[in-house]
Structures are given as structure tokens and as C-alpha cells.
Amino acid sequence: MKDLFKVVKDRVRVNSKKFKKERADIPSGLFFKCPRCQTSIFKEDFDAAGRVCLNCSYHSRLTALQRLYITVDRGSFVEYDKDLTSKNPIDFPEYEEKVRCLMKSTGLNEAIITGECTIRGEKCVIGIMDSYFMMASMGSVVGEKITRAFERATEKELSVVLFTASGGARMQEGIISLMQMAKTSGALALHSEQGLFYCAVLTDPTTGGVTASFASLADVTLAEPKVLVGFAGRRVIEGTIKQRLPDDFQSAEFLQAHGYVDRIVPRKKLRHELYRLLRFHRKGEAVDWIN
Amino acid sequence: MDKLTAWERLNIVHNPNRPNAYDYINGIFEHYYEMQGDRCFAEDKAITGGIATFQKLPVTILANVKGKDIEQNRRCNFSMAHPEGYRKALRLAKQAEKFKRPVICFIDTTGAFCGVDAEKRGQGQAIATNIKEFMRLKVPIISIITGEGGSGGALGLGVCDELAMLENAVYSVISPRGAASILWRDASKEKDAANTMKITAQDLLKFEVAEHIIKEPISGAHADHNMTFENIIEYLIEALKRNLKKSIAMLLKDRYNKFRKIGIFNE
Ligand SMILES: [Zn+2]
């Protein structure tokens, strides 16, 4: 059991130089075309606004490292399970090559980074999914890392913050990927039973099997403005009903209106919002009142 | 029967004379008392649930309903449940926990329904909640995939202490048609997708996702309903005995570990 909880010492170094370099890696053109309002804006202005659409405030995708950089206290992050990498459980054609290419292009070993950090001094376990890695689909590694993150948080009595983004279960891993929904939800249930706090931050896009498991099971559910969140693919539904769906369908605002999101929080306010929530749920806070 | 491909097995489970939920319920249990509604929004005919007795033991049954003709299929939406179907299932599972009845699930669905209203009423949240709550339900849960187990829609009744599959049943993360259109961008490659995705009962036993395969008559369950029912009864007697004698703590620990160990990766 000790081994399982061995913290990987290899800290991810995130400095502003790396952050700028990361940004330059994102497929670029001169313009960013917003998927929500279809407005084209200068890439430079879009980046300067923190990758937020200046017209409709759609919050675009960040890499996991960018998200880490703007969320956690500098130097506080200690990564878990950095070395877990994918195998090919159902011998799916070309799966290994695809993963290898993505490891190279993203600099990540898989579609999520997990670890411990502080946010304005409040300690927590954090997980950040990266949609640039195979649309952050959940296979064995993503499922295992989330499960271990919850298990360690339970052991250490820490809150969990997860930034969700995913195209759903990773089809290339067949039924094994579907079972990760049950595995992660089981670990989450044990964490919850210990009276520990879990906050999900829904980011663009959160869909499929991730929506149908841990993304929908938080004590507090936050979402960034205008992000896509849903269970079924938009095109699947359009194919069934044979008509185009409105632009705001499956947006954070749509979810909020139907009662599935607590608050929609702009990116630049998220760190403060998370701090407030972690502060409320600090263990043993109300002891003086009870005794 | 051992040599059939996933595609051939899919054709067997699509046989119109294959037993459906009500056939299994009437053939295996006595005194089925169906209960309706999720107490929030509506009744969903895609999932039936209720109490029955199995060899004198009161149990709760939850089952995906496939229709036998177009009229029945319209009513049960081709076994594709809406959120209210999953919420009804959870209500009845909680009721089973209260009265200490084991839960027996019959899974046969291509998936949860994908539609505008399903999204508005939180299809993802409904399935997620079932997964989490079933994981901690304090009575034994035995699930049997009788035909198709499709994706999260199947997992909504699929968190259990033991998963059995009928010999020709399949269980997959996405329907072969869906896999073909997403991964090969060609829905006509359905057959290739089925044979690539490792979805048969035999595959799932190897992956330790399923614990048991229930024999079907030669050529499939449609050929002899009674023999199929008898094979299921024989399995259920053993499975219930195995799980009813465990303490609740042991039951939940074993259930957690059943799913905890699934995952294939390098470390
Ligand atoms: Zn916009």
C-alpha cells in the first residue's frame, strides 16, 4: 500500500517561458473562429484575453499545463503517477502509434495530470484533463489516475478539484474504457462517504462517459462560460431529429438553466472561487463550535 | 458455438424470437409486481422494475425492455431509456436496500436515448448517479446481459457484484455502428467494427469484466426459451448463495475491487 501512495518527486516545472512556448504550439492561424458565435477575432487578442472569445465570452480550451499555471500556487504542485502510459488492451489498429505521436506533440504522457497543490494556500488534490491529448478520452490511464487521486485524497483527508474535459470513453480501449466510469465513481463514492469535498469544474468540452460519471457527481459543480457539456454528441441528436439544434444547446448556460450547474465562473475568477470553496471545506474547521 | 464471431453473435441476439425482459421475468420468477415512475418526472417504459419471488426469495428486478413489434417498440423506445428510466431504477434499488432484497438486473439495450429532452433532464447525471449509488448499495446485485449491453446506458444497470452474460450476448463501449462511423468514418464498416472491438461474452470473461457465461441452446436462446430460463435459474441460485452469505462490508469491498482492478497500462 505504501508504494501506491509514493509521491512522484518529479515536479512539473511550469514557468512563464514554458507557458508562452506551449501557447505557440497550439495550431495557429491569424484568426480564432469562435465555435459558439462564429465570430473571427485576431489570435493575438484572443490569447491576450486568456483564450476567451471577446464577442460572446466563450472560454476556449487550455492545455493542462496552461490550466495548472493559472490555477495553483507557484511551486506547490507535486505530480502523481506521471509515468503511467497506455497499452493496447484490445489490440486496436494503430492505437499505440497514435498515443506515441500525441505524447510527442503534447509533451504529456496521457490526457490528464494529477497531483497535490495549494490554491492560495489551501491544500487539495487536483486533476486537469487535456483535450489536446486524444480529446481527453478516458481509457485505462485516465481512469487509474483519477481513481488513485481520489484514493490518496481519502487517505490524506484532502478535497479534490477536477477540471473535466473529454470526448468520453476511449473507444480504442473497448469495454475496458467503459469500466473506468465505474472505477472512478467508486473511488469518488468512498471519498464522499468520508465527508470530504469534491469540486468539478466543467471545461470545454465535457461529454459522453465522463459526463455520465465523475463530472456529474461533485458536491459543487462549476463551469466556464459557454463551454460545451452534454451526454450525447450534438451530431448524433441532430441526425435523429433531422434538424439543426440551437447554438446554446449543451452550453454551460443551458445546463445551468436546467439545474445541473451551481455557478458559471469566468476563467479569471476561478482561482478565487476555488479558494473560497476549499476554505469552506477545510477539515475540522467547526470543531470549536461542536465541543 | 465457440467459434462464432462477434458479428454472428449479434445476428443471433437480433433474432425477433429471442426472449425479452417480460419473457425472462415470467419464465424465471413468480408473482412479478411491477412498479412505475421515477417520482420526479415520468414513467419510462424502456426499463421495467418491480418485486418478484425467486425460488421463494423476494427480489427486486430491473430490466431493459425491448419490444417485439413496432407498437411495443414505440412504447418502450426500442429499449433506450430516458433519465427518468434510470431514476426509476435507482428508486427501486434503494427500495430493495431498505427491505434487504437482492437486486437482479437484465441488461438489453443499445444505449441510453440520445435526444434533446434527455439532455435537458440530465441523461449524464442520471447514469452517473446510478453508477455511484449501485457501487455502494447494501444488498447483492446480480446483472445479466441477455442481448446487447450498449455503453453508459447499460452501465446504468451494470454496476453489480457479479456480471453474467448469455453465451451470445455482447457488451461494448459503443455500438458497432457508432464505432464504425466515428473511428472509420464509415457506418457500413459495422461488421468490421463488431469483430475488432472485443465485445463477446468470451472476450469479456477474459478481461474479467464478466464473471460467468450462461449457456444458450444450440443456435441461440430463441430456439428454446425454457432451456434458456433453466440455465439462468441454475446460475442465479449459485450467484445469490455466493453473495447473500457475505457480510455487507465484504460485499461492498469485493464490489469495489471488482471494478478497481480493471485497467491495462504501463507503469
Ligand atoms: Zn464567441
Q: How many A from CA of A110 to the centre of ligand 1?
A: 29
Residues of A in contact with B40 (CB under 8 A): none
The answer to whether residue A251 is domain-embedded is yes
Which residues 153-182 in chain A show a CB within 8 A of chain B?
A: 169, 171-182
Domains of chain B (ranges; CATH) run 6-260 (3.90.226.10)
Closest CB from A92, A186, A232 relative to B259? A186
pLDDT above 90 covers a percentage of chain A that reads 78
In tens, the pLDDT along B105-128 reads: 999 999 999 999 999 999 999 999
Give the model confidence (pLDDT) of B6-32 as tens digits: 999 999 999 999 999 999 999 999 999
- A255-289: pLDDT as tens digits: 999 999 999 999 999 999 999 999 999 987 766 77
Query: How confident is the model over B97-112, as a mean pLDDT?
Result: 97
In A, minimum Cα distance to B204 occurs at A175
Grid-cell match 466563450, residue found: A58
**Is A2 within a domain?**
no
Please check whether residue A170 lies inside any domain of the structure. Answer: yes
Domain, as residue range, for A243? 61-280
Position A46 in a domain: no
Give the pLDDT score at A29.
75
pLDDT at A3 over 70: no
| A209 vs B: CB within 8 A | yes
A246 Cα to chain B: minimum distance (Å): 11
CB of A118 less than 8 A from some CB of B: no
The answer to whether position A23 is within a domain reads no
Q: Mean pLDDT score of chain A, rounded to an integer?
A: 89
ipTM over 0.90 threshold:
yes
In which element (H, E) is residue A117 found?
strand A112-119
Tell me the C-alpha distance between A71 and A119, whole Å.
7
Query: CB–CB of B97/B139 below 8 Å?
Result: yes
Residues of chain A with Cβ-Cβ distance to B125 below 8 Å are 211, 216, 260
Is residue B125 less than 8 Å (CB to CB) from chain A? yes
Please list every residue in chain A whose beta carbon sits closer than 8 Å to the beta carbon of residue B114: 231-233, 236-237, 240
- What CATH number should be reported for the domain holding residue A229? 3.90.226.10
Provide the pairing of β-strand A122-129 with A112-119: antiparallel
Examine residue A205 and state whether it is found in any structural domain, yes or no: yes
Question: Does A34 fall in a domain?
Answer: no
| Per-residue 3-state assignment (H helix, E strand, C coil) for B40-85 | CCCCCCCEEEEEEEECCEEEEEEEECCCCCHHHHHHHHHHCCCHHH
Residue B201: its pLDDT value, please? 97
The pTM assigned to this predicted structure is 0.93
Question: Could you give the number of structural domains in chain A?
Answer: 1
Q: Number of A:B CB contacts under 8 A?
A: 170
Is residue A275 domain-resident? Answer: yes
Once rounded to an integer, what is the mean pLDDT over residues A140-144? 98
Expressed in angstroms and rounded, the spacing between residue A38 Cα and the centre of ligand 1 is: 6
